[in-house]
A and B are shown apart, each in its own frame.
Chain A
């Protein structure tokens, strides 16, 4: 007569699983990798002669943060809450104001001709600027670009920018480029 097979005692699996669980809780971190992505300009070649890039003055919006985190945009002191609207106005130039950036008709694949703004936002800071203020300003500028893009997407595709598919997002990105340049540091006197 066959003996009944003993059942494996499974009561300790819970304990084992708990131990593994605790191990993972300790060794892992939840922080999601989120942030503002940027592309740095390449270092100028030493042999290359410095060619003064002719950028029309109306095409540049200089945003400067000084060491006490005061914000200057286009030559005047403004509050950070105003920066987004200023940047949006600068990027859109709805009335073709001669003091705001010019537009260039560009052919965008899959869309057609569109007057793309030549505006560049130049962000300058000093060594004493706090990182928090810098990120807040960066954030406002990105927000301005995102809102302009959203507006464009709603107007032409009837959807918000993030709801579009990849190809259409690319079109919007080309029509409204994110031209935020991080200037060469002005005061490189003291090395950290």
Chain B
């Protein structure tokens, strides 16, 4: 009789540890991700490079995005590769102001370590990249990084 009663009233699963689990997840994501600073208006697929190295100081990076405009913007800007700085499409001539503003936001000691991170689609032509590079040289922002992703699997040699 007693045994029968036990099987009937099952103890409910305790959910008291659920908040802890979720908080754990939350902290994991907070640590491993970075807040997105800009809304992307260009689409790009980064080229692959097996020797890509991590940037040590993420906070010192200024990003230049190059790629085709996203679908919602294509009616306005076409499908040609364009440059995005901060939140809007810009031209080569705006890079100077952009670099100056980025420099200004860094502390005096960090200014020399600023890295310009070029995130370009793998299908863009080098012409636009060369123009960016020339403009960066003119602004003497010489530390650059070509953003690339590591290939998923090592190609067999």
Bound complex: CA of A142 vs CA of B121, how far in Å? 20
Is A40 at the interface (CB under 8 A from chain B)? yes
Residue in B29, B35, B55, B146 whose beta carbon sits within 8 Å of that of A138 in the complex = B146
A41 CB → nearest B CB, Å: 7
Contact in complex: A135, B47 (CB < 8 Å): yes
Interface of B is mostly: mixed
Q: A10-B19, A34-B52, A191-B131 are in contact. Are A28 and B36 (CB under 8 A)?
A: yes
A and B contact pairs by CB, cutoff 8 A, 24 listed: A17-B22, A18-B22, A21-B26, A28-B29, A28-B33, A33-B117, A34-B52, A34-B150, A35-B148, A36-B53, A37-B53, A37-B144, A39-B142, A40-B144, A42-B140, A125-B130, A126-B126, A127-B125, A127-B130, A131-B122, A131-B129, A139-B52, A146-B51, A190-B127
A: residues with CB less than 8 A from B are 10-11, 13-14, 17-18, 20-21, 24-25, 27-43, 125-132, 134-136, 138-139, 142-143, 146, 182, 185, 188, 190-192
Q: How many residues of B contact A (CB 8 A)?
A: 56
Chain A residue nearest to B52 (CB atoms) is A34
Contact in complex: B50, A36 (CB < 8 Å): no
Chain B residues, Cβ within 8 Å of A28: 29, 33-36
Count contacts between A and B, CB distance < 8 Å.
157
Is B68 at the interface (CB under 8 A from chain A)? no
Chain A residues, Cβ within 8 Å of B49: 35-36, 135-136, 138-139, 142
Residue in B19, B48, B92 whose beta carbon sits within 8 Å of that of A13 in the complex = B19
Contact in complex: B36, A192 (CB < 8 Å): no
Chain B residues, Cβ within 8 Å of A42: 137, 140, 142
B: residues with CB less than 8 A from A are 15-16, 18-19, 22-23, 25-26, 29-30, 32-36, 47-55, 58, 61, 92, 115, 117, 120-131, 133-134, 136-138, 140, 142-150
